[in-house]
Amino acid sequence: MARNVLVLAEVRGGALRPVSFECIAAGRAVAEGGSVTAALIGASADFASALVEHGADRVVVVKGEHLANYTPEAWVGALHNVALEVKPDVVFLGHTGLGRDLAPRFAQRNAAGMVSDAVDVKVADGNLVFTRPIYAGKAFATQVIKQGMAVATIRPNNVAALAAEAGRAGEVTEVAAPAADLRTVIREVVRKSTGGVDLASAKIVVSGGRGVKSADGFKPLYELAEVLGAGVGASRAAADAGYCDYALQVGQTGKTVTPDLYIACGISGAIQHLAGMSASKVIVAVNKDPEAPIFKVADYGIVGDLFEVVPLLTAEFKALLGR
């Protein structure tokens, strides 16, 4: 059964978020001969070629000054207008802050079934079957949308993006979104930046917990992260203690990350923290306490003082990577 797929391509910090390419790959996997259209809302058409090279058949660039900054009302309307023209069977968005806010609003407006935080999607018996974590990542549920439009958010770093095909042909269309009477207009956005790599899309994350002891205790972690090109995260205990900003928090009440490598330093392994990082492909734990719960989920464990171990790791990686 051929399906038309609509993907929201998300731009942040002047670049396409990697999850946009992952959503296109998910779309190609379920299209079965149908088309995959990417929607660029309030962004430059310069990003269209990258989307086509990664598997999109068509890119719709929605222009409008009122779309430069995300507002639910304006973006739901813009995506809805694209959907009216594309008539998608499936709509994929990244499970990001924007996607989590926009997807349910769009699904409600289109009376569509929705799955949030999917880590896999496939076709079985003609139906779309989604897999998503439940119970703080302790189990996985499969959910099926049997009829009507399906809307889903895809967790970053779980669906492999397709390799870019240079010179791949695709249609690029630019449309102007009418500036309707909006109840909310954003004049300026002041971003609170923690610097470094975006945690949601980072392939490597170095996190610190209560064991870092102070804000200065994060310095060795930042040094290791810089060598590895990694993002820096933290447990809630570290954030609550004032060692770092809450923007770095990984866990049930923070960010969910699924990197290829997660290095936990001075983190005991409370279930709330594990909920945000247990799906990482490889977990390395550094802790002085050999009985720390984090070692139960770690692939590799180092029992030792992080202030001795982390600098040694940094020096070794510098030597291996020639940095």
Residue with tokens 């610097």: 195
Residue 295 pLDDT more than 80? yes
Per-residue DSSP letter, 247: G
- Please state, in angstroms and rounded to a whole number, the distance separating the CA atoms of residues 296 and 60: 47
Q: What percent of the chain has pLDDT over 70?
A: 98
Q: Which domains, from first to last, does the chain contain? A: 5-176 (3.40.50.620), 199-321 (3.40.50.1220)
In the three-class reduction of DSSP (H, G, I as helix; E, B as strand; rest coil), residue 241 is classed as: coil
Q: What percent of the chain has pLDDT over 90?
A: 83
The pLDDT value given to residue 195: 59
Long-range contacts of 303-309 (CB under 8 A, 24+ apart): 306/208, 306/211, 306/212, 306/220, 306/265, 306/266, 307/217, 307/220, 309/265
Residue 182 pLDDT more than 80? no
Please name the amino acid found at residue 272: Q
89 — pLDDT class (breaks 50, 70, 90): very high
Long-range contacts of 290-294 (CB under 8 A, 24+ apart): 292/267, 292/268, 293/268, 293/269, 294/264, 294/267, 294/268, 294/269
Over range 56-78, report the average pLDDT. Answer: 93
Residue 234 phi, psi dihedral angles, 5° rounding = -155, 160
- DSSP lists the bridge partners of residue 9 as 40
- Please state, in angstroms and rounded to a whole number, the distance separating the CA atoms of residues 205 and 201: 10
178 — pLDDT class (breaks 50, 70, 90): confident
Residue 181 pLDDT more than 70? no
Q: What tens digit of pLDDT does each residue of 251-274 get?
A: 988 999 999 999 999 999 999 999
Residue 95 pLDDT more than 60? yes
For 227, 288, 292, 294, 323, the CA distances from 311, given in Å and listed in that order, are 11, 15, 21, 21, 14
41 — pLDDT class (breaks 50, 70, 90): very high
